[in-house]
Structure 1
Amino acid sequence: MTPGHSSSPPLAKSLPPVDGREGHEQRLASGYGARSSNSGLVPLTVARRSPKEDDVEIAIEYCGLCHSDVHATRGEWSAPKYPLIPGHEIVGRVSRVGSAVDDLSVGQLVGVGCMVDSCRECERCLDGFEQYCETGVVSTYGAADPRNEGAITQGGYSSSVVVDRRYVLRVPTNLDPAAVAPLLCAGITTYSPLRHFGVEEGDVVGVVGLGGLGHMAVKLAKAMGAEVKVFTTSEVKIAAAKELGADDVVLSKDAASMAAAEGSIDVIIDTVAAPHDLDPYFRTLRLEGALFQLGLPSEPMPPVNPWTLSRRRIAYSGSYIGGIAETQEMLDFCAEHGVVSDIEIVSAAQLNDAYDRMVAGDVKYRFVLDTKSLPAPAAKADA
């Protein structure tokens, strides 16, 4: 974490707090985003709608940088509609609320994660699994917003955002707000499968990879009382893993170390986003163990041998972020146990370098944008 940053910075100058209600004018917000797949990140201005009755306007203070932001802005997963402002790890303070909002107040510290809406009617939404909405979740950026005349959602590399109150999270005030931002993606992405498996004291959790997701998996599993083993291909990460709280580190390229770990782990959180053979990791699981695949390689993975799964009734599963209630539960859990992300603060002018460093794996462990560094909005909106 960059020393010297304020834990409670002032609201963005371009968005003073107003005890507003719906009917007020839309506002222009400053931002940084991409104009094309090869433009890099450049200053942009976005028109934020006036809060409707259920809306909350947030003056953004910090926004985490996720590797998926790189893929999205560079068009590596699909062809987005440009201009595109990324960012789905948002922390800021309420600046205006709609007339039906009585559970959030101006000045309150809040967060917004990877989604800003869903159908709210399907079985999954009603059960608190909005991330698996049958109609399709509305992502924080790059998605058609059905409740805003089909406008494209624009994300958190911006001075403000307007979000329906049902998708706004309460940020505990005892945590550093900058270090909370990555919890809204990396934190909930690792918390959800750990909770789904029911990790508790006495369990052994394996973590494959020690990046943004992996370091959160270590911290959360330890806070749940588990013993943690980190798998890494790099000897230089042994000390880093133990500093984070890992009880043991296994060099996955060393056959003897992998053999010694066989049958010793209850659940594995796999965060590696490059193709890799899973069979060696399956062999480290106990009877009825599970491996959750969180890393999403852009190329096919080697095939899984079903015999490896069958011999110990092993489950191979995926997981995608978490619902709103579970994300709030995660934030409250982190507040209780003092868990936050290890971060490096960057300015808007450093965003393109930060993207290159993320691709090179040169970050411990998450970058966070300080929105005070954003330029003033232009007179006309780009998005």
Structure 2
Amino acid sequence: MGSQEKPVGNKRYIIETSLMAIVGLPILMQVAVFTIVQLSLSELLASALASLITLPIGYLWAKKNNLPSSFFARYLPVLIPLIYCLLLWSLAMFIGKGDFTHSVFEYFMLLIFPFLGTSLIAIFTGQLWITILMPLVGYLCFALGLAIGTKKLGKNMNVTRGRLPVLGLCSALLILTACQGYQRETHLVTENSALTVNETISLWDYAPFKKEGSRLTALSSPATINIDNEWPRVDGATAAYPIYASAVQALYQGLDYNSVDPYIASRRTPEAYKALIAGKTDLIFAAQPSEQQKKLAAENGLTLTMVPLAQEAFVFIANKDNPVKNLSVEQIRAIYAGQINNWQEVGGENWDIIGYQRP
């Protein structure tokens, strides 16, 4: 009889711990992050702090349950979701080349559906690091709490076979994730608050028909055009969102804060063009299309109609002590193409060129 109880106990523990990892922990962490974010902390910091609650939960879980004596049965219900998230993230980073506007990250967020609330925060704030930060920290802290609890209670493992390969895989994926993050932050974009302007905006602040805390510009007089049915679906660049959100609020009649969602989005310029060509949106506010975007439209039997609303210019700024005062268009292109890497090549001092660009 005693020899049969152990497998049954292991099976129950595995099922309960798997449900906790897949359902319970994501819910608890997301409730915590929505609570912490009310303290006016950044969404990224709030997500990290919220994930830490799994540490005491893991400790209590060790005290509550009859723990299996083997490493696989004890820790794999937690490590498998962690490995799953890390594998998907690494694949998304590889396919999307670190570009968070790539559609592959939409699929990533769908495939980690237990963290739907986190994904929504990431979409509205533009901080996609949240989507991997929360499961990463959460699952690691839960496993750590479980390990601390078992050690304190003296519930040692009798069978540790397979521990090194599993931990090695987790370590390799963590290192890969860190390397991909470093590669993205140092090569794709440069985000240094001391040297660049932070252009991140919260779309919640500019949501149409928001009754409190709205930052949209209201018209000084009633709009001369009203749309009370068949509202066009609009999309576009993040920087243009306050403009077309104001237009939606002024022109769209019969909608409110809750019902306007299907008619306004902010996928950013590349994805907005794809959505327009795919028929997922009717109108976009963005820079004029590239040759590739025009080609994509033509391949789908479409011709893009462009109506200019405003003009913008790129301004390149150098340090005031830099003796180089003028650069040609060709030189600027060569700098951002990586062909010119030192100011000495354009008549300046022997300094490395660090080409900053918008996030």
Same fold (TM over 0.5): no
Q: Which has the higher strand share?
A: 1
Structure with the bigger RCO (C-alpha within 8 Å, sep 6+) is 1
Q: Structure 1-normalised TM-score?
A: 0.24
In terms of Rg, which structure is larger? 2
Q: Structure 2-normalised TM-score?
A: 0.25
